[in-house]
């Protein structure tokens, strides 16, 4: 979905704004003055800010006792934008003018305006945002375009996540990547099953044994002539387009949202697309191993031993720990690029979600402290926050097998960390693992997250890559 952004404002367009001050008392005084000129009424929100809705044709206002130039304040502005989007939707406005609005407010409004409507036979008014145009008074055209690209990159990821597997299988995900590459100007190569077999990707092939659909391995490469890095940044996304758990079958209610198990892949595609559209002077490679995980056919069984593409043998003790198997092959493949840094994103473990909920992403790895500082700062700026977990070698003991080089699960303790340590085995470069299991999918609307795929990771990666351009 797309919203038209422009600095040219048609006559009669309703205006909306934000009134901010250091404290609530002053903010309310300021708001009272605005009431007189805007003929509006207000109601206190439980989140420390107030909203006003129009009684005629003119304004909406959000009142924020917050500093938008701090990460915490900027997030309040995003949430105010989300509230504004809700008001505009309720009033069925098609366009709104935002005089001198802070970027975070606009970002929150735009992100909250997303809806996935592809599967409705008839578009219902309550499910379809009316807002299709936002006019940004006082903005430069380049800033408008940059925000538009970042938001649309998130929307790309969200839509892919929300597609059910009967609409988007592994081949469909690869085709979506190819289409994006053609549209936005980056190279895409899709490996079919025969090519994957030639690369001896035993993890990806093993997970795919139970499926009627063949796996894919997709390589995205954005390499502008002015790239500042001689070694690329490699982004690896878990592309399990649907996860039943395989023979280690999930309960039915745990399968309901498993179309989202390719959220890491969606984030990688969104980030590479966004980097290309923004013209960032960075060389970026994306790797997406993709399959579904089903219990049919010749499905991998607990006790089977798979041989990864680097020759490592893995005892599979739980077929529902499949994401790390396909990522292992991708991480090994990344070695051929001599990367400056590799970041993988994956809905990898329930342990990560149980540890910190949907509020942040679990992060760990071997990257330098400089990289970690920049990543954590990007997480703070975008509110796609990272919680860094320990990555001690002591955890390797939990992955020792009696019949193979490794086993694919480490037991009940430290499940998120042992999954990351399993993946580390296949790396020989600076590495970051992001377990997005908590925030990748929203069961219900939350602020500027609609129900469904959140597109988590796209804004984080684009912000981080923007810091690596000098």
Integer CA distances (angstroms), 301 to 169, 206, 356, in order: 22, 10, 31
Instruction: List, in sequence order, the alpha helices (H) in 222-262.
Output: 252-255
DSSP three-state, residue 127: helix
Q: Please give the Cα distance from 202 to 204 (Å, whole number).
A: 6
Instruction: List, in sequence order, the alpha helices (H) in 334-440.
Output: 350-356, 369-382, 415-424
Q: Please give the Cα distance from 216 to 194 (Å, whole number).
A: 10
Kind plus residue range of the DSSP H or E element containing 47: none
Other C-beta atoms lying within 10 Å of the C-beta of residue 73: 17
Torsion angles phi and psi, residue 272, rounded to 5: -65, -40
Which strands, in side-by-side order, build the sheet including 406-407?
Answer: 305-307, 313-315, 406-407
CA-CA-CA-CA torsion sign (403, 407, 412, 417): positive
- Displacement of CA 416 from its chain's centroid (Å): 19
Is 86 part of the annotated catalytic residue set? no
Which pairing describes strands 50-54 and 60-64: parallel, antiparallel, or unpaired?
A: antiparallel
Q: Which two tokens stand for residue 341?
A: 């840094």
Other C-beta atoms lying within 10 Å of the C-beta of residue 177: 28
Catalytic residue among 115, 277, 324, 407: 324
Is 250 part of the annotated catalytic residue set? yes
Integer CA distances (angstroms), 427 to 323, 342, 407, 431, in order: 16, 9, 17, 7
Q: Please give the Cα distance from 141 to 466 (Å, whole number).
A: 19
- Displacement of CA 192 from its chain's centroid (Å): 26
DSSP three-state, residue 349: coil
Task: Find out whether 276 and 368 touch, Cβ atoms under 8 Å.
Answer: no
- Give me the DSSP letters along 271-311: HHHHHHHHT-S--EEEEEEEEEE-SSTT---TT-EEE-TTS
Catalytic residue among 250, 335, 388, 468: 250
- Catalytic residue IDs: 250, 324
């Amino acid at each position: 979905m797309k919203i038209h952004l422009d600095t040219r404002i048609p006559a009669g367009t309703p205006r909306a704004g934000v009134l901010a001050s250091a404290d609530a008392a002053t903010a309310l005084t300021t708001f009272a003055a605005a009431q007189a000129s805007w003929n509006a009424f207000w109601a206190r929100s439980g989140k420390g800010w107030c909203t006003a809705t129009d009684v005629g044709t003119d304004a909406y206002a959000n009142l924020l006792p917050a500093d938008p130039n701090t990460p915490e304040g900027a997030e309040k502005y995003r949430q105010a934008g989300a509230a504004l989007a809700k008001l505009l939707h309720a009033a069925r406005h098609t366009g709104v003018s935002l005089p001198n609005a802070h970027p975070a407010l606009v970002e929150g409004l735009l992100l909250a305006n997303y809806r996935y409507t592809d599967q409705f036979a008839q578009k219902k008014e309550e499910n379809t945002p009316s807002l299709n145009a936002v006019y940004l008074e006082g903005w430069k055209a380049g800033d408008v375009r940059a925000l538009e690209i970042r938001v649309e990159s998130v929307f790309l990821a969200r839509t892919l996540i929300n597609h059910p597997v009967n609409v988007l299988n592994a081949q469909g995900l690869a085709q979506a990547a190819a289409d994006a590459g053609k549209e936005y100007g980056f190279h895409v190569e899709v490996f079919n099953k025969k090519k994957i077999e030639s690369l001896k990707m035993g993890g990806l092939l093993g997970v795919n044994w139970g499926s009627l659909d063949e796996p894919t391995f997709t390589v995205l490469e954005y390499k502008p002539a002015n790239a500042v890095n001689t070694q690329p940044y490699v982004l690896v996304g878990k592309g399990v387009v649907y996860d039943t758990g395989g023979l280690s079958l999930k309960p039915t209610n745990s399968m309901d949202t498993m179309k989202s198990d390719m959220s890491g892949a969606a984030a990688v595609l969104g980030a590479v697309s966004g980097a290309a559209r923004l013209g960032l002077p960075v060389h970026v490679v994306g790797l997406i191993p993709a399959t579904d995980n089903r219990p049919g056919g010749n499905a991998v069984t607990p006790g089977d031993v798979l041989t990864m593409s680097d020759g490592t043998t893995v005892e599979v003790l739980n077929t529902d720990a499949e994401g790390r198997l396909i990522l292992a092959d991708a991480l090994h493949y990344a070695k051929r690029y001599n990367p400056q840094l590799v970041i993988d994103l994956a809905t990898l473990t329930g342990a990560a979600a149980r540890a910190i909920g949907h509020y942040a992403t679990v992060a760990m790895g071997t990257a330098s402290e400089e990289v970690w500082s920049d990543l954590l700062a990007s997480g703070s700026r975008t509110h796609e926050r990272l919680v860094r977990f320990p990555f001690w070698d002591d955890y390797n003991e939990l992955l020792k097998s009696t019949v193979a080089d490794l086993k694919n699960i480490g037991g009940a303790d430290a499940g998120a960390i042992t999954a990351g340590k399993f993946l580390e085995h296949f790396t020989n470069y600076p590495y970051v693992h992001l377990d997005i299991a908590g925030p990748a999918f929203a069961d219900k609307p939350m602020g500027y997250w609609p129900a469904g795929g959140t597109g988590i990771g796209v804004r984080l990666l684009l912000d981080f890559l923007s810091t690596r351009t000098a």
